[in-house]
Structure 1
């Protein structure tokens, strides 16, 4: 029988059950149409600016090919991206995987454009030496900014791969399933799930996704927020966001015996 991903649900209780059983869940109805439009406009505007500045394809990449654009440090670009990072529905599911406090290790986006090559199968906690702990050490919250289809490069997952407690190896690609979902869908998966960018076989469709990577507080963040974060994002920031960024006692520790903020 062909492996399948859990069905899309709007019930967060069901989403938590899917996460426990499958290591992944797909959730609809989280973003309003206005929020989705704001995030999409901000992302494509940033991608256009990166192209002008020739930043789009610099650095080491998991997913290769000039048609897959990586937009880094989206959190600094607009407060709408901070709203997504601390969205209550997202943090509820992050808590169910990691507990609290957690750290936001990174926020970035990928845009699979026509001609995008398939990415390399990987698990997000590949940095952890084997044997892996039984519990996941991270959690990724992906947001479908465009519609995800089999043809336009939707992220592909290997259902049940979280139960192997190891990175993928040769031959593990077989059985990957595209996360077919409408724009605005939230895809939450624990750090053991094997996944990759799909191949965009269309001639006129882009497939953009925003990824928020959270970890247990014992791990360093991938993005050095203290150096790279736009300071205006901290103006009026909630306790949850300050914790996620390491600006509270939880996660990174005290400053002269007190919580930094």
Structure 2
């Protein structure tokens, strides 16, 4: 690529970016995606890899086996992964990711979902291998993000193993673009293990085909404005005694449960 000049004229305003967090925020705002280093050591990534495999086995056992999940097309997904292995909760509370998410949405964000994602080996089909938004079925745009996707790479994301494909800047338009645009503008986002691929949830994207003999693993997080309901009611799933950490309770949605009666509503107001 030719060198890019810093010379300019007629410009009086410019975005300030002084560190990796600023860079990710600018990429996310402008193009709808970014890659952010997670800050984990190789040893920590190895432990998270082992935790992922344990969570997958536990999830399958709890559902009655992989074949039972296959009948629901859930065999390549580990729902609420940290519920199956608590070591994976650290991925949802990564402070670098939360710094970007809170700058993009607001200081009050809720974890809508944490799902393990398996892109199966040998070009097998899977449920993320189609164009979608992570707020699906919505043909709307927002003046600022309502939800951010943070996909943690357990394995390297490569061209060969099905790295995520994005359509840049499509978080700024309501419609899915034309076939001509898709063919010319689609970008495959490679990323090293231990990093996060961040997406504005309205950016159209898809998983690509994994043509290697090894599954490619990731853990997906969706952070939302508290006005959007969670994929699974985490406070009910985890129970009232799961944590007393007020910041973690806020992130997991303990403060946005819908009252089921007037008594519960008035109790929430008193709190």
- Normalising by the smaller structure, the TM-score range is 0.7 to 0.9
Relative to structure 1, is the Cα distance of residues 35 and 58 closer, same or farther in structure 2, using a 3 angstrom cutoff? farther
* Structure 2 residue 120 is the aligned partner of structure 1 residue 120: no
Q: CA deviation at 1:127?
A: 4.0
What root-mean-square deviation, in Å, do the aligned CA atoms of Structure 1 and Structure 2 show? 2.7
Partner of 1:157: 166
Relative to structure 1, is the Cα distance of residues 169 and 244 closer, same or farther in structure 2, using a 3 angstrom cutoff? farther
* Structure 2 residue 72 is the aligned partner of structure 1 residue 59: yes
* Structure 2 residue 28 is the aligned partner of structure 1 residue 19: yes
Q: 1:79 aligns with which of 61, 71, 86?
A: 86
Relative to structure 1, is the Cα distance of residues 11 and 196 closer, same or farther in structure 2, using a 3 angstrom cutoff? same
Partner SS, residue 135 of structure 2? coil
Q: 2:252 aligns with which of 221, 245, 251?
A: 245
1:92-148 alpha-carbon deviations (Å, 9 max, x no partner): 0111221121111111011112123371101112243x4433332211111000011
Report the count of equivalent residues: 241
Q: CA deviation at 1:10?
A: 7.4
Q: Are the aligned partners of 1:104 and 1:221 in contact in 2 as well (CA < 8 Å)?
A: yes
Partner of 1:6: none
Partner of 2:106: 99
Partner of 2:153: 144
List gaps (5 residues or longer) in structure 1.
1-8
TM-score under structure 1 length normalisation: 0.81
Partner SS, residue 220 of structure 2? strand
Deviating more after overlay: 177-186 vs 110-119: 110-119
Relative to structure 1, is the Cα distance of residues 227 and 177 closer, same or farther in structure 2, using a 3 angstrom cutoff? same
TM-score under structure 2 length normalisation: 0.78
Cα separation, 2, equivalents of 1:24 and 1:95: 16
Cα separation, 1, equivalents of 2:224 and 2:59: 27
* Structure 2 residue 60 is the aligned partner of structure 1 residue 47: no
Q: Are the aligned partners of 1:141 and 1:189 in contact in 2 as well (CA < 8 Å)?
A: yes
Structure 1 or 2, whichever has the larger Rg, is: 2
Counting only pairs closer than 5 Å after superposition, residues 196-207 of structure 1 correspond to structure 2 as 196-202=206-212, 204-207=213-216
List gaps (5 residues or longer) in structure 2.
1-17, 260-264
* Structure 2 residue 77 is the aligned partner of structure 1 residue 70: yes
Partner of 2:188: 178
